[in-house]
Structure 1
């Protein structure tokens, strides 16, 4: 569960290290975001020599959460961190800014967002 003011890791090679959730998209009364939701983030720390600057506002896709994910076959998956991948700002199309996503990505995302499975290494 991600809400406003949550600090998140960035798991792609866009140049940002950590971001802060500014707004959860999907309705004006919505308080929490889960796996596969889009949020608006502010960049807090960046890597050296990156195109992205500290303080910029971007959209991000939630890739991993600490909250337990229950699958249809009865098993559950717990991950160790809350992390996002930055996506493009333009329009309703969701295209990743980065050319690579580090770490595993759930199959739920690979069905909904096929662009992320092309740049990811592994799915579960």
Structure 2
């Protein structure tokens, strides 16, 4: 569960290093976000000289989470870190590469562009 004030790492090469969640975007009363949810983030650390700057507010999608993710066939997936990918307003990733494994349920949520950039799909 990703709540407001949760720190995340960046799973792409957009130039940011660390993010902090501000708010979940979507319907429902639940303030916690899960894999595949859109969140509003603020960039806490970034590489110097890139287009993305520190303290910039942008959109991101969660791709890895420390909390267990249960599939319908009974398997459980759990990552070591919370990670997100920065996106623009159209939903396209801001980076050109994705680092680390991505869960296959993102394909069902129509994030095919992120799936195509990923090196490994679980």
TM-score (structure 2 length as normaliser): 0.94
In 2, the alpha carbon distance for the partners of 1:30 and 1:11 equals 25
Residues 1:109 and 2:106 aligned together: yes
Residue number in structure 2 paired with 1:20: 20
* Displacement of 1:45: 0.2
The 1:52/1:28 distance shift into structure 2, 3 A limit, reads same
In 2, the alpha carbon distance for the partners of 1:102 and 1:79 equals 13
Runs of 4+ residues deviating >6 angstroms: none
In 1, the alpha carbon distance for the partners of 2:95 and 2:39 equals 17
Residue number in structure 2 paired with 1:42: 42
Structure 1, gaps ≥5 residues long? none
Higher deviation after alignment, 108-117 or 80-89: 108-117
What is the count of residue pairs matched by the alignment? 121
Aligned residues: CA RMSD:
1.1
Residue number in structure 2 paired with 1:75: 75
In 2, the alpha carbon distance for the partners of 1:23 and 1:77 equals 24
TM-score (structure 1 length as normaliser): 0.93
* Displacement of 1:28: 6.7
Of 107, 117, 120, 1:119 maps to 117
